[in-house]
């Protein structure tokens, strides 16, 4: 088994573990699976849960694709070669209860040849209502993982997430961030490819304990129609980011990816309100005030 096959098999197992765990946490919903093939090479497994007890809509996707890079991607990567291989797991969960946050995770590996190959990914949380204790738990968990591999990973990747998950036209972050990294290779990280794979696997394996805890803390909190209205408004911001800025969405669309799998990140409902202003002192205003880059959530 060569390295890229090793990565793909590991990611398949992570997809299985997360889907099994989420079904147990939800208690009602079950994932529907669709096996698909990509015209040009490779394919994947799309798994979607809808109408669960906790999860409104959630997708846990695995793909391993190969073929020729479009010219615009070659130019953006600064390479001349055509043949690529890419594999990854991508997750977005939209919960029913507005006190449970939206969560996103992606781990991926890209290869052109032995010299041009890298890992990317990250995990971030988008609360409808920011709860500082939850943010501290989430970021502390990620820091513990990062610190096992490098003393600079957490600060670097946390800052990268703050910059990346930013809705520039709104001047606000998508949520409370997390970690984000891209084109991670031995030269940039000081790690071997096998060590970077282990890091990627640990990021992937963090998803289930993190989200299980966040669900446990918040799933039984009562909510009103006003809370639900705010939830769909915040979902609208999520949609704006994914369709305007998200690199994975752009890459999938530009490499003839499967549309249903690419757009599974979108919520079942979202709203846009004209010139919305939160009431002074409200929970909504408090959340908007915390959608900023550079917040230290741990201290």
Catalytic residues: 104
Distance, in Å, from the CA atom of 94 to the CA atom of 267, rounded to the nearest integer, reads 6
- E runs forming strands in the chain: 32-37, 42-50, 55-68, 83-95, 102-111, 117-126, 166-167, 172-173, 178-184
Sign, CA dihedral 264-268-274-279, equals negative
**Residues in the chain, total:** 299
| DSSP state letter for 257 | -
| Contact residues for 172 (Cβ-Cβ < 8 A; gap 6+) | 166, 237, 288, 291, 292
Distance, in Å, from the CA atom of 104 to the CA atom of 38, rounded to the nearest integer, reads 24
| DSSP state letter for 298 | -
Asked if 15 and 62 count as a contact pair (C-beta separation under 8 A), the reply is: yes
* Residue whose entry in the numeric block shows the structure tokens 């073929």: 67
| DSSP state letter for 81 | -
Distance, in Å, from the CA atom of 139 to the CA atom of 82, rounded to the nearest integer, reads 38
């Amino acid at each position: 088994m060569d390295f890229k096959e090793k990565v793909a098999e590991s990611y398949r197992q992570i997809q299985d573990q997360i889907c099994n765990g989420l079904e147990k946490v939800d208690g009602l919903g079950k994932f529907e699976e669709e096996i698909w093939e990509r015209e040009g090479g490779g394919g994947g497994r799309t798994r979607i849960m809808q109408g669960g007890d906790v999860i409104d809509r959630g997708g846990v996707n695995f793909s391993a694709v190969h073929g020729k890079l479009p010219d615009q991607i070659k130019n953006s990567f600064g390479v001349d070669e055509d043949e690529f291989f890419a594999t990854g797991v991508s997750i977005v969960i939209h919960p029913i209860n507005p006190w449970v946050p939206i969560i996103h995770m992606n781990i991926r590996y890209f290869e052109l040849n032995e010299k041009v190959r890298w890992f990317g990914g990250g995990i971030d949380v988008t609360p409808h209502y920011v709860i500082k204790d939850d943010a501290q738990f989430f970021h502390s968990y990620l820091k513990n993982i990062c610190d096992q591999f490098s003393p600079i990973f957490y600060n670097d990747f946390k800052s990268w997430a703050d910059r990346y998950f930013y809705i520039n036209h709104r001047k606000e972050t998508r949520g409370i961030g997390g970690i984000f990294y891209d084109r991670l290779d031995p030269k940039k990280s000081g790690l071997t490819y096998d060590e970077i794979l282990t890091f990627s696997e640990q990021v992937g394996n963090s998803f289930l304990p993190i989200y299980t805890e966040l669900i446990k803390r918040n799933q039984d909190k009562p909510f009103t129609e006003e809370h639900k209205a705010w939830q769909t408004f915040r979902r609208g911001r999520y949609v704006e980011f994914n369709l305007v800025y998200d690199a994975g969405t752009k890459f999938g669309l530009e490499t003839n990816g499967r549309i249903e799998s690419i757009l599974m990140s979108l919520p079942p409902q979202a709203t846009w309100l004209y010139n919305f202003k939160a009431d002074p002192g409200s929970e909504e205003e408090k959340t908007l005030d915390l959608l900023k880059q550079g917040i230290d959530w741990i201290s």
